Amino acid sequence: MTASTRADIPTARRIVVKVGSSSISGENSGKIPPIVDALAEAHGRGTEVVLVSSGAIATGMPYLRLDGRPSDLATQQAAAAVGQNVLIYRYQESLRPFRIVAGQVLLTAGDLENPTPRSNARRAMERLLGLRIMPIVNENDTVATHEIRFGDNDRLAALVAQLIGADALVLLSDIECLYTRPPDQPGALPISHVAYGDDLHGYEFGSVVVNSVGTGGAATKVSAARLAAASGVGVLVTSADLVGSALQGDEIGTWFAPHPSPAVVSLTGPIRRPVPAAHAVDTLGG
């Protein structure tokens, strides 16, 4: 059942949860277990959970003895190759006490734009979910290029939610909710609810930022949330620290109500990508 409100999340059949690099890498790597605890609780009540996780590049950086995020593509790819392995291991170790097995799914933008690989990706995830295995999805940064990439995993999460017919999408951030302008500016007000079709042009969500571990920002989350909502998927944007409350349907974060009568989306046709806000950002999402 499509989640029409936050309160519907606990009873949703299928949920996609996205977590960003800054929430689970570096000094925050210890946040993986509590995030997994919340996912496992949802899994235990019968919900099919797909995790979209950034963090491969950031996780791999210490193993390459890098002090900061690399700027060249080859080193980003190398860091992703090492980091993805470590990242999945950390997730699997946290899932082990719950007897949940993780299944790694790495995608490029081309995979979801072309009918055959898109159909293959959907079939693989459907089978994983049918086997009660938790798919963990990330962009395949080891082979992605600047020209062919998602740019941020918020968009990837929205496309995955669309692909598998999810009932809800939870985008985890560093802040509890979205604001009418950057929260450190005077007059910033929290946004609790965005009805489908609401005009948000008067708000200042800020441009995409690149920090020491990843890419993203409020603007990418708004764009991804509206993409998913247009496909009939309800979206909650909130803090990674509140993932447990989010999956329990508490009144937190910013809720994007789904399109009440979404058009039927072809599961074999291409997904058209608009020019992303991060077009000028010459890095991988990781």
Residue set of the binding site for ATP: 18, 173-174
Q: Extract the annotated binding site for substrate.
A: 54, 141, 153
What's the token pair of residue 8? 């519907």
Please tell me the distance from the alpha carbon of residue 234 to that of residue 158, in angstroms, as a whole number: 10
User: How many whole angstroms separate alpha carbon 105 and alpha carbon 117?
Assistant: 12
| End-to-end alpha carbon distance in the chain | 32
Whether the Cβ atoms of residue 106 and residue 84 lie closer than 8 Å to each other:
yes
Helix (H) or strand (E) holding 134: strand 134-139
Annotated binding site: 18, 54, 141, 153, 173-174
Spatial separation of the C-alpha atoms in residues 239 and 119, rounded to whole Å? 32
Instruction: Please say whether the beta carbons of 108 and 121 come within 8 A.
Output: no
Output the CA torsion 276→285→43→111 (10° steps): 70
Residue 91 to residues 13, 29, 97, 176, 213, Cα–Cα distance (Å): 22, 10, 11, 23, 18
Cα distance between residue 139 and residue 167, in whole Å: 22
- Among 166, 160, 123, 152, residue whose Cα is nearest residue 262: 166
* Residues in the chain, overall count: 286
Closest CA to 15 of 130, 206, 169: 169
DSSP for 91-120?
HHHHHGGGT--EEEEEE-HHHHHSHHHHHH
